[in-house]
Structure 1
């Protein structure tokens, strides 16, 4: 074997090369192989650099003059060295793109914009018309601080829920998050709380029931178009409020001649009620897991939800301040009632606002009831929490053929799912007819469940899964518990 065959072999790092320039001269490299074969202990010129002389070779015999003696089996050594890489492979620094963790593919079909419309539609309309009353209880200072504070913390806790459910593809709903964080014993409590909250948003009129039944079977990507209708109706209500306020020159109900307002709080009990009224506007967290899972690119959820809560906070502050200026401390629990009862407004605009109030809840009925339907179907055994696997995740060795019994079972589940969603729709209609003051009853539950689902639950779940409490999370938990107890007691006293 000739040494010249390895002249083009990449050299090692300069720190790995031996500097033998001061060693005595010896035979040339051309005769190195022959001399080593004939005389195993022949001396080698150390100034001849070759990639074959590496740290991997063990030179056991070295003369006092610095001349290294080659080992006896140089042929085997040369052969072994030639087949080895001249230096260890380079470790490339991973790029930012490769360092990102690819989320699980949930088969989501909603784009960034569609999820944004759904998120805004969920937030708007939930207690939107009671914001002026919340300002009347808390005053200008307290109301402004509370609405900004609630917008910030609920956006933070919404991200917590999204991160938890996206990290585990087995999770489907808010109840699944509670079961993972706190164990199976928490499932009945979390399911009951968020089912009551969502069911409180569902009561509708009988005429609309038949039209809403098909919407409960639509995917979230299609429901985003209905959400756009709800957002347009909400913006129309805002426009009517400002047009009425600017068209009327004298109080009450005029933006040119504001009603009596106050900077501070009305009373401690009123402040507690304001806690619940402001928080009710941001209590859409029960739907957050469904929205996050249905995104085409879940990594954009944080950016999307920032915009959703920023827009909702701005609109709530706008409606609250406008209604408070127009009607002051005498504002009703719904500003729309004041618009209809105050003379001097354009009747056509008020009728249009009334129809917008009807369209807004109808447009998001299916969106609000989606997580509730999922929870009921899981409890009834109609759907499992395991996500569907992609074709590359299916092992052909463990795959079994579909039997006729399995097909019949799937058809039965499909039929029962249809029955469950239709029955639930008519149940919501029945509640709205038999219990007309159901919204008043849910005002208390909203004050309690909103804090539990939107702040206390997500923060506790994050800390339970992390195994430790962060400083700001602990502070946030204490503040939320105090506000929840305060608001609940105030709701009892006011009733």
Structure 2
């Protein structure tokens, strides 16, 4: 499930890139842009995590700029659509059960990407700071999600697109220059994050294929033994063969991500699938089930959380497949 989650993230990044650049330059089709990006994505999967972490700064900058642009546009426009002063029609109640299921997945998708965490811990200069880092990261992300989600729905109501960046570009009355700069950053952001998100998946596949024997240690163990080598690297023909297989595997996986993005172009459906099928099970049901197993007892609250998680996961997954079909 970890591997499937990471693969879904890479597909979503390709979809986000394709939709964003097509909104800026509609000369070619979205699928054409997705195929062209292979030229850029393939080299990034061979870069070390220490270098990819610096390129991901572009993603942070683009996200923060998007928040600023959304609120600037919302307060600078006096009338709907696209105004926070005169918000678009919204609904408090549930209008569509299928969309409610998708909403479950979209909500949880922002808290996915768990398989990246071990790689982040292993590459930290001081792994003992991991707990503090991850708490800050999820806290800041939650605030940003709430800000963008609330502002986007108030500005565009039920007609909001899968990506609010598209609404910012096609809605009249906004500053075209500022919004285009923001959208270009959203084009670059998925490219900068692709290698970072695919590296743990590539490493896992390498281990399964027997071409990488890296061990997974806790942050505390890594801090205590920073130079520990648990395996001896192969030499000669064996080394060349393993390197060749690793290259083919990384290129194939990148091409597969693009192919799936072309086959399932709906951004919201992929996000809902990621959140429903993966994040609910890995972030809610799994940890509570582990707690119940260790303690050998299941309280009322634990049972409620697991039951709600399972229902939302099944509901959201079914809704995602239904909307994509």
> Structure 1 length as normaliser, TM-score?
0.53
Tell me which residue corresponds to 2:212. Answer: 383
Confirm or deny: 8 A CA contact 1:193 1:453 kept in the other structure: no
Q: Which has the higher helix share?
A: 2
Post-superposition Cα deviations, 1:153-193, rounded to whole Å, max 9, x if no partner, equal xxxxxxxxxxxxxxxxxxxxxxxxxxxxxxxxxxxxx3663
User: Which of 161, 172, 182 is the aligned partner of 1:343?
Assistant: 172
CA-CA distance at 1:309 after TM superposition: 0.7
User: Which of 1, 5, 9 is the aligned partner of 1:198?
Assistant: 9
Tell me which residue corresponds to 1:485. Answer: 314
Tell me which residue corresponds to 2:253. Answer: 424
Alpha-carbon distance in structure 2 between the residues aligned to 1:280 and 1:411:
39
Alpha-carbon distance in structure 2 between the residues aligned to 1:217 and 1:462:
38
Instruction: Give 3-state SS (helix, strand or coil) of 2:124's partner.
Output: coil
Tell me which residue corresponds to 2:67. Answer: 238
Change (3 A) 1:218 1:458: farther
Q: How many residues align?
A: 298
Instruction: Give 3-state SS (helix, strand or coil) of 1:241's partner.
Output: helix
Counterpart mapping for 1:365-376 below 5 A: 365-376=194-205
Change (3 A) 1:424 1:273: closer
Q: Larger deviation: 309-318 or 414-423?
A: 414-423
Alpha-carbon distance in structure 2 between the residues aligned to 1:391 and 1:448:
36
Instruction: Give 3-state SS (helix, strand or coil) of 1:285's partner.
Output: coil
Counterpart mapping for 1:54-203 below 5 A: 190=1, 193-203=4-14
Post-superposition Cα deviations, 1:432-477, rounded to whole Å, max 9, x if no partner, equal 4x5262646635532222312332234434555x363564544432
1:408 matched to 2:237: yes
Could you list the runs of 5+ residues in structure 1 that have no partner in the other structure? 1-189
CA-CA distance at 1:265 after TM superposition: 4.0
Cα RMSD, aligned residues only: 3.2
Could you list the runs of 5+ residues in structure 2 that have no partner in the other structure? 18-33
Alpha-carbon distance in structure 2 between the residues aligned to 1:394 and 1:275:
43
Confirm or deny: 8 A CA contact 1:286 1:453 kept in the other structure: no
Alpha-carbon distance in structure 1 between the residues aligned to 2:56 and 2:170:
29
1:214 matched to 2:60: no
Instruction: Using CA pairs under 8 Å that are at least 6 residues apart, name the structure with larger relative contact order, 1 or 2.
Output: 2
> Structure 2 length as normaliser, TM-score?
0.78
Confirm or deny: 8 A CA contact 1:191 1:375 kept in the other structure: no
Alpha-carbon distance in structure 2 between the residues aligned to 1:272 and 1:431:
22
Tell me which residue corresponds to 1:437. Answer: 265
CA-CA distance at 1:282 after TM superposition: 1.4
Post-superposition Cα deviations, 1:272-331, rounded to whole Å, max 9, x if no partner, equal 222111111111212122222333333322211111111000001110111112112332
Post-superposition Cα deviations, 1:107-127, rounded to whole Å, max 9, x if no partner, equal xxxxxxxxxxxxxxxxxxxxx
Tell me which residue corresponds to 1:468. Answer: 296
User: Which of 53, 56, 59 is the aligned partner of 1:227?
Assistant: 56
Change (3 A) 1:473 1:287: farther
Confirm or deny: 8 A CA contact 2:10 2:194 kept in the other structure: no
CA-CA distance at 1:246 after TM superposition: 2.0
Confirm or deny: 8 A CA contact 1:202 1:369 kept in the other structure: no
Change (3 A) 1:491 1:410: closer
Alpha-carbon distance in structure 2 between the residues aligned to 1:233 and 1:448:
28
Confirm or deny: 8 A CA contact 1:270 1:490 kept in the other structure: yes
Alpha-carbon distance in structure 1 between the residues aligned to 2:174 and 2:144:
22
Q: Larger deviation: 271-280 or 468-477?
A: 468-477
1:272 matched to 2:83: no
Alpha-carbon distance in structure 1 between the residues aligned to 2:226 and 2:87:
64
CA-CA distance at 1:228 after TM superposition: 1.1
Alpha-carbon distance in structure 1 between the residues aligned to 2:287 and 2:51:
28
